[in-house]
Amino acid sequence: MTTQPVILYVEDDLRNRRVMELLLKGTMDLPHVYLFEDSRDFVSRATALDPKPTIVLLDIHVPPHNGFEMLTMLRDLPQYKGIPIVALTASVMNEEVEKLRTAGFDSIIAKPIDIDTFPSLLDRVLTGERIWNVLEAR
């Protein structure tokens, strides 16, 4: 990646948000990381972002609009067209993964994340790879 990714991450859990902030802003030193702690006024807030995100990470259990609803909203926004939308979730049982896939998410990243492999995972998604395998290496 020549240009740095612009990331929007929606997460209601303070600690998880903090982990990602440390990882993205601290370890990875990304200049553009938007963190939303809820999905209120999601469309207007997402539309207002500048520079616009090149990848969106969504937690699923977020009030008031869950991940699926946010996905639908984003898909209707012209400026998010073609941008990978990834479910970053602890809900990784088979049927849940299947629901995410059929809902139209581009990939899944399971919690807990591995901060050592996360950057390469992000790169793979940004280069168009679709990741649906949630098995952690022991």
Partner 1 sequence: MQRTFNFRSLNVKLNAILLLIFVVLFIAITFIVNSVFETLVGEVGEDQADQEAQLVQQHFADMEASILNAGHQVSLATGIASLIETGDINQLRVLILLQAAPLEIENIVVFNRLNERLLTIAEDAAHTDEQEAEIAAVALTGSATTGFAIHDDEAVLQAAVPVKNTAGQVIATILVARHIDEAFMTELNFAREHVHLAFVVDGKLMARDSSKPEEFDDFEITSAIADRMRRGEVINLGSPREDADTTPDAVAYVPLRVADELHGYVVALIELDTVLNAQSSLSRSSLALVSVLGLVALGLGALSTHWMVLTPIRKVKEASRKMADGQLSERVALHSQDEIGDLSRTFNSMAEQLQTSFANLEKEIAETQKAREAAERSDQVKSAFLASMSHELRTPLNSVINFTKFVVKGMMGPVTDEQVQTLNEVIDSAKHLLNLINDVLDMSKIESGSLRLFVEDNVNIQAVLDQVVSTGKSLIVDRPVQITTTIDGTLPSIRGDRQRLLQILLNIMSNACKFTEQGQISVRAAQHNGSISISIQDSGPGIAPEDQGLVFEPFKQTRTGLRQGGGTGLGMPISKNLTEAHGGKMWLESTPGQGATFFVELPIQSAILTPVQVEGKS
CA-based max dimension of the chain: 42
Residues in binding contact with partner 1, number by CB under 8 A: 37
Interacting residue with partner 1 among 115, 119, 121, 126 (CB under 8 A): 115
Q: Using CB under 8 A as the criterion, what x/- string covers residues 28-57 for binding partner 1?
A: ------------------------------
Is residue 132 at the binding interface for partner 1, with CB under 8 A as the rule?
yes
Q: Output the CA–CA distances (angstroms, integers) from residue 37 to 33, 74, 84, 108, 126, in the order listed.
A: 13, 17, 20, 20, 23
Handedness of CA 45, 27, 20, 67 (dihedral sign): positive
Report d(CA 28, CA 118) in Å as an integer: 10
Chain positions 4 to 33 lying near partner 1, rule: CB under 8 A, are: 13, 15-16, 18-19, 22-23, 26-27
Q: Using CB under 8 A as the criterion, what x/- string covers residues 50-89 for binding partner 1?
A: -----------x---------------------------x
In this complex, which beta carbon is closest to partner 1, that of residue 43 or of residue 121?
A: 121
Neighbouring residues of 58: CB distance < 8 A, sequence distance ≥ 6: 9, 10, 67, 70, 71, 85, 86, 87, 88, 105
DSSP state of 116: T
**Residues of the shown chain interacting with partner 1 in the complex, contacts defined by CB under 8 A:** 13, 15-16, 18-19, 22-23, 26-27, 61, 89-96, 98, 101, 107, 110-113, 115-116, 128-133, 135-138
